Amino acid sequence: MNQKQDFQYQKTELRKGVRIHTVTTDRFKSAFLSVNFFLPLTLKDYPVNSLLCDVLTRGTEKHPTLRELNRATDELYSLSLNAYSKHIGETQVVSFELSCIEDDFTIGKMPILRDSVSLLKEVLFSPLKEEGSFVKSYVRQEKKNMTDAILARINNKDRYAFYRCLEHMCADEAYSVPARVLPASVARITGRQLTAAHRRLLQEAPVEIFYTGRKSAEEITDMFSDMPLPERRSFAIGSPEPVHPETFRVIRETSGIEQCKLVIGFRTERIKTPLERASLSLFHEIFSTSPVSRLFVNVREKQSLCYYCAGTPDPYKGVYFVSSGTKNSNYQRVCDSVMNQLEAIRKSGVTEEELTLGKKSIWHGIRESADSAYSISVSCLHSVLRNQIPGIGRRIDLIGSVKAEDVVETARSLEPDTFYVLEGGMANE
């Protein structure tokens, strides 16, 4: 983050496999910090690690109940402390995050950040246990919560259709693991498995710590220097083998809804270099994201074929999804229109106006991210995953270097793989 003097980025290796990334700035009155553990994405371990996040934040040895833990955060000027699991490409990321007011803005300049980090370390290293395992009642309650969340997916038809397309398209690949977790998988999780997962997390998983706030790199390093995290392998995000679909599969299912949901899944392997990632971002903006994008203007507005039509790229996996909601009678026309718009870019390219507007929109988003400590940390994380030095200026320059032919090459690299349709079970003309 070194284009402007008020962003000072520094990377510190606490020990092998444990790194701290600090962005020091006086822009904000609150600080954001996250401790991230990186693990292989597997169907066996994904739900266990996800459940572990919920159980760890239920209570500690010093604060054994959720009420006491909440009281501790309230005393730290309403500290926000969260833990969750997500996946980036085919890597599972277990994150522990905190957001707190800066010391300079407290009465008497209390050491809020240091006390907040101490509470975070308490959650990580001193969770409440009984007979050497996690508290059974906490495990039981969080298993129910996770099961309810899985069952509730079907209530959000847009998300449900996306997951079903992902499940079919990447059926034998780690990428589809979050879509394939079932209530039965959660029901089988034992306290012993959680204990083993916790040990593996602390002993083996590579760790990347990100901080954005007023503290220096030396101060943040000092706060984490006593963490009992031994050396481990250094982190490097994997590059999945490219998949070339042999056919364009069509999956049709029905549901008692009034609106048909469809998702088109594409493959691409051209997302390896910084320029290719920037080209995908610009293609995504021109094709799907902005109010003047090809899908919005032509599919939704001019033809009135759907209620929405938007893309979702994942450069870490090399996939691109287009989701839409329409009438039962229109889904084939929507699919054909999406493919026609893609083919138009492949054959005729993009206009200078589209290129200019697309770049301006992305630049605005990049600059806007500098107004949030959270956004800066997230941006920093993704730069690290891409083996790039974090920096607003670098990202802006990279987008600026993308040419029209680069966008066209990105469009040409997309190969249609799966067309998933969730049809309404009732007439909706």
Q: What is the pLDDT averaged over residues 18-34?
A: 96
Which pLDDT tens digit goes with each residue over 171-206? 999 999 999 999 999 999 999 999 999 999 999 999
Q: Which among 30-34, 151-155, 236-240 has the top mean pLDDT? A: 30-34
**pLDDT score of 2 more than 60:** no
In 25-122 the beta strands, taken as DSSP E runs, fall at 30-40, 80-88, 91-101
Residue that is written with structure tokens 């990100």 in the block: 210
260-267: strand order across its sheet: 249-255, 415-424, 260-267, 319-326, 308-314
CATH for the stretch 8-224: 3.30.830.10
pLDDT in tens, 349-395: 999 999 999 999 999 999 999 999 999 999 999 999 888 888 888 99
Whole-structure pTM value: 0.93
Read off the DSSP letter of residue 391: -
Spatial contact of 288 and 310, defined as CB atoms under 8 Å apart: yes
Query: 3-class SS at 133?
Result: strand
- Between strands 319-326 and 260-267, the pairing is antiparallel
Instruction: Note whether 259 and 157 are within 8 A (CB).
Output: yes
> CATH topology of 8-224 equal to that of 249-424?
yes
| 97-144 confidence digits (pLDDT tens) | 999 999 999 998 999 999 999 999 999 999 999 988 999 999 999 999
Mean pLDDT to the nearest integer, 288-311: 93
For residue 148, the SS3 value is helix
* From the candidate CATH numbers 3.40.30.10, 1.10.10.10, 3.30.830.10, 3.40.930.10, the one assigned to the domain spanning 249-424: 3.30.830.10
Average pLDDT, the chain: 93
What the block records as the tokens of 399 is 């987008």
DSSP state at residue 173: S
CA distance 164 to 180: 9
Q: Where are the domains of the chain?
A: 8-224, 249-424
What gap in Å lies between CA 220 and CA 243, rounded to an integer? 42
Which ranges of 254-391 would DSSP assign to H, the alpha helix? 274-284, 294, 331-348, 352-369, 373-385
Antiparallel, parallel or unpaired: β 207-213 and 18-24: parallel
pLDDT of 220 above 70? yes
**Token pair recorded at residue 37:** 């553990």
Beta-ladder partners of 367: none
**Residue 5 has what pLDDT?**
55
Neighbours of 28 (CB within 10 A): 18
For residue 343 the two structure tokens come to: 């083919």
**Mean pLDDT, residues 240-266:** 89
